[in-house]
Structure 1
């Protein structure tokens, strides 16, 4: 106790009184007092651990506030459903890990939905699937590409084929992606067979479309790696021949100043893309 008082630059009686006052305030005994020897009680050990955590958090908070590396705020991303989103999710995960006060908001939709959210200011970034014009936006192209294919039941005759050709879909009922329908993605691929395919409608949410397939209602144009095609799923995915791929891009408004967290997102995404392309 005497050595502690000396280190704290106060008298030993004053330190003893402060400890006694603290025990009274907390309603617990902090020390086992023996002749010329003090040991912490279980309550004292708990208080010590919590105090160390609090002091550590205080020091970190002070350092963060005095450092340009401190980032906080909300990051909103409007995105289509795509396995090409993985690099984006990796960057977001790293930001949350390094800056726990950042909040992430993910909005799902097609090209028109995501660009609408971007233009209205409801989203900081839009993940665009497909070769669509982005003249009014700044953008980055992700390294992954999505390939189109057909989703079907395992008992469908086409499930025995290695790939699906345009003529395989003649007289078949097909559910199309709403974005693909709007952009007429399959018109050139189908060629002369386009008028022979029975497009029964469109889907916006991938999962809801798969339920139509499971009900024998239709085949479904879909991007690879999105559906569960395990043996228990009741679904089979077949790629197209000739192959039909879609690029994945991250877009944002050029004339708008980005928030610190949005700037960090772009920096880390660029670093990730540069590293992957250099490897």
Structure 2
């Protein structure tokens, strides 16, 4: 599979039109169309539903678009690393979930950006499974995983602040009158949570057998949309303390008791060499946390 053709394919998807993509790529429309048809023939699939003015991706096209972005990003990162081994440059990629515990990580990234203004950052939000996958692939240098994870295949550095679980509730809910939430409070409640937290042993230990009486209505990835559903009265949401928007006074956060806390651990692959900017980041973070190798 030709990297150049993958870049052509990505540009067509972004433009939504072969003519516009050809103009941006400085190639003729017939030549671009021929390249894509040859790609479809090679793969044995149809990538686009072609209309009069715009194109629409097929299911196979969506899949290739996602993979093509990962492949070209990895090629660019690899090329840049090989060509500038002595230079602090390029893109620093870090993936994590939402947490206030990331502050020391962001402080170090801010310091690097001030010192090296040409550096770019790639911040990716996701759960531990998605973050580990991208670290394994090399599309991210670092990930921050939260909770109790088996990390034998990674180098790791524990961050100093833990995440404390609680419940995001409408202010007019009877539960809002409580200072903390005990397991019996959630029986019969419509609960929105992350799939990761629902499956973690630490949360199941807190809830005990009562977890079988909880009404889990679904999962969320990022908390903002979950907040909107809680505001609308559709449910309450399990979340980390400190990340919900409580400024408008419509929602309140109540911690779980006994306390349920997750560690935050920075990870990077053992078998992937780090580019210079990543080495610098790690050195500065260790210094800030006063952690030796």
Please, what TM-score do these two structures have when normalized by structure 2? 0.68
Alpha-carbon distance change, 124 to 105 in structure 1, aligned in 2, over 3 angstroms = same
* Equivalent position of 1:196 in the other structure: 213
* Equivalent position of 2:257 in the other structure: 241
* Equivalent position of 1:162 in the other structure: 179
- Name stretches of at least 5 consecutive residues in structure 2 with no aligned partner: 1-84
Give the deviation of 1:254 after TM superposition.
0.8
The answer to whether the aligner puts 1:92 opposite 2:104 as a matched pair is: no
Residues 79, 127 of structure 1: 8 Å contact kept: yes
Residues 70, 99 of structure 1: 8 Å contact kept: no
The answer to whether the aligner puts 1:260 opposite 2:273 as a matched pair is: no
Alignment of 1:1-279 (within 5 A): 71-230=88-247, 232-274=248-290
Give the deviation of 1:70 after TM superposition.
5.4
Alpha-carbon distance change, 197 to 251 in structure 1, aligned in 2, over 3 angstroms = same
**What is the Cα-based RMSD across aligned positions, in Å?**
1.7
Give the deviation of 1:101 after TM superposition.
1.2
The count of aligned residue pairs is 208
Q: Which one has a bigger Cα radius of gyration?
A: 1
Alpha-carbon distance change, 162 to 191 in structure 1, aligned in 2, over 3 angstroms = same
Structure 2 CA distance, aligned partners of 1:95 and 1:233?
Answer: 36
Structure 1 CA distance, aligned partners of 2:195 and 2:98?
Answer: 12
Give the secondary structure class of the aligned counterpart of 1:143: coil
Give the deviation of 1:99 after TM superposition.
0.9
Residues 79, 128 of structure 1: 8 Å contact kept: yes
Give the secondary structure class of the aligned counterpart of 1:221: strand
- Name stretches of at least 5 consecutive residues in structure 1 with no aligned partner: 1-67
* Equivalent position of 1:52 in the other structure: none
Give the deviation of 1:126 after TM superposition.
0.5
Residues 92, 265 of structure 1: 8 Å contact kept: yes
Residues 82, 129 of structure 1: 8 Å contact kept: no
Q: Which moved more, 1:108-117 or 1:176-185?
A: 176-185
Structure 2 CA distance, aligned partners of 1:184 and 1:117?
Answer: 24
CA deviation string 1:88-144 (max 9, x = no partner): 000000001111111111011011111111111110101111111111000000001
Residues 169, 237 of structure 2: 8 Å contact kept: yes
* Equivalent position of 1:46 in the other structure: none
